[in-house]
Homo-oligomer: A and B are copies of this chain.
Amino acid sequence: MPLSANNPDRKSWLHVDKNSDFPIQNIPFGVFLTRDDIVTIGTRIGDTAIDLGALHQLGYFSGIPLTDDIFLQDTLNDFIADGRKTWRSVRNRIAEIFDSNNKTLKENKSHKEIVLFRLDEIEMQLPVQIGDYTDFYSSIEHATNVGSMFRGPENALLPNWLHLPIAYHGRSSSIIPSGIPVHRPQGQTLPNGAELPVFGPSELVDFELEMAFITTVANDLGEPIPVNEVEEYIFGLVLLNDWSARDIQKWEYVPLGPFLAKNFASSISPWIVTLDALEPYRVESPKPIKPQLEYLQYKGKKSYDINLEVAIRPSGAKETVVSKSNFKYMYWNMSQQLAHHTINGCPVNSGDMMGSGTISGPTPDSYGSLLELTWKGEKPLKMKDGSERTFINDNDTVIMRGFCEKDGTRIGFGEVSTKLLPVFKRK
């Protein structure tokens, strides 16, 4: 199945701004509520949202084997379960429908009225029902920074880190789409020098700059996925802000890992950009520092050149960009992550989400968390409004963005933007 949707020379009859993340070469998938309060699966070109449920009902996907209600759903899980051949066919067809040379929909006013929406007419939803959420820890810079802070630079990386992509399970129920605010979590912390823990609001709320991939049904219980077959099972990627409460984390995480420090919220961007759309941006992963076991040895380029940035917008003020990083810094790539995750036979389903872990780059301005950017709060960051940040303040909004760019084509993820509200009060 050719990736004709990726044709860089194609233009759309829909308007696309020069710096848009969503040219006709992107064609991401998402779920939105329309002006008529109907939930549908859709895509986006420029600033126009496209109702795929309506397009399908009008016959625009004829010839592609799809059930009648595949896009009239409140999650993408069933569509993702249809597999890569179907995703490609649908994406190629969408590219044809909106090609500037195709007049079928372009000149059908009544169809366009049903199918097209302005962004201010829709409300983006969580794109998938996430069955299981796994979060990796695959940036060597991040692991080294955090390890240095807590164990000193000579013991920064633990002995297992260079041999396997460390991961833990996260909480699916608190994954939210961009735009949903989050309350500052409360919990137990052990103040410095104290003997007994205290209860109260976390004082060290942090973001973690991550990306996450969404899978399709991949394997049965017991059956590993070979490393070079993994990409068959990856539908696409989103931006992920893995909210973290550092003071809660420090007290709770030994010996079973982070729990309440993480599961109060994880925010994702609402448009899933397909792995197919990212094809032109493949790059090599960092060279392994130590030999890797055979089940982790892959062929070819398995990473992607995705520019990432984080901004903080204080209440009523302009945003300040506080970090610029790149997905390509990841020491362990997605193929290795999923091969490792399933080597013991753990089953992977449609709509599972796998976070990268915080993506820090090699320089201090590319670190992916405030913990690292402010070095445990020792070096506050200056905001444009003159204020300083060591961790996130009440009513700050954290915004993450990501895009690829090459030969004049830009494929982006839009943003994940989340406001931190004060502690929840019972009415």
Contacts and interface: CB of A to CB of B under 8 A. Distances in A.
A160 B252 contact: yes
Contacts of A187: 343-344
Nearest to A357: B256
Interface string A249-285: 0011111111110011100000000000000000000
B188 A163 contact: yes
B199 A294 contact: yes
Chain A contact residues: helix, strand, loop or mixed = loop
Contact of A164 (B170, B188, B345): B188
A171 interface: yes
A78 interface: no
Given A164-B252, A259-B169, A174 B346 contact: yes
A167 interface: yes
A261 B118 CA distance: 48
A179 to B, nearest CB: 13
Given A255-B253, A348-B173, A260 B166 contact: no
Contacts of A253: 255-257
Given A160-B254, A171-B132, A223 B260 contact: no
Contacts of A426: 223
Interface string A200-244: 001000000000000000000111100000000000000000000
Contacts of A224: 186, 424
B185 A424 contact: no
A340 interface: yes
B132 A173 contact: yes
A183 interface: yes
A217 B169 CA distance: 21
A172 interface: yes
A221 B265 contact: yes
A72 interface: no
A421 B222 CA distance: 10
Interface in A154-206: 158-160, 163-164, 166-174, 176, 180, 182-183, 185-188, 190, 196-199, 202
A291 B293 CA distance: 48
A245 interface: yes
Nearest to A198: B293
A225 to B, nearest CB: 11
Contacts of A345: 174, 183, 185-186, 264-265, 424
Nearest to A172: B132
A171 B169 contact: yes
Contact of A182 (B159, B160, B222, B341): B222
A173 B352 contact: yes
B197 A256 contact: no
Contacts of A348: 173
Contacts of A343: 186-187, 260
Given A171-B346, A222-B424, A264-B345, 15 more contacts: A134-B171, A137-B256, A160-B197, A167-B256, A168-B168, A168-B169, A185-B345, A186-B224, A186-B343, A187-B343, A188-B293, A197-B293, A222-B264, A248-B344, A253-B256
Interface of A: 131-132, 134, 137, 158-160, 163-164, 166-174, 176, 180, 182-183, 185-188, 190, 196-199, 202, 221-224, 245, 248, 251-260, 263-265, 291, 293-295, 340-341, 343-349, 352, 421, 424, 426
**Which 7 A/B pairs are nearest by Cβ-Cβ distance?**
A257-B257, A185-B344, A169-B169, A168-B256, A183-B222, A256-B257, A264-B344
17 contacts: A131-B131, A160-B251, A164-B188, A167-B256, A169-B263, A173-B346, A176-B221, A180-B221, A183-B221, A183-B222, A185-B345, A186-B345, A196-B291, A224-B424, A248-B344, A260-B344, A264-B344
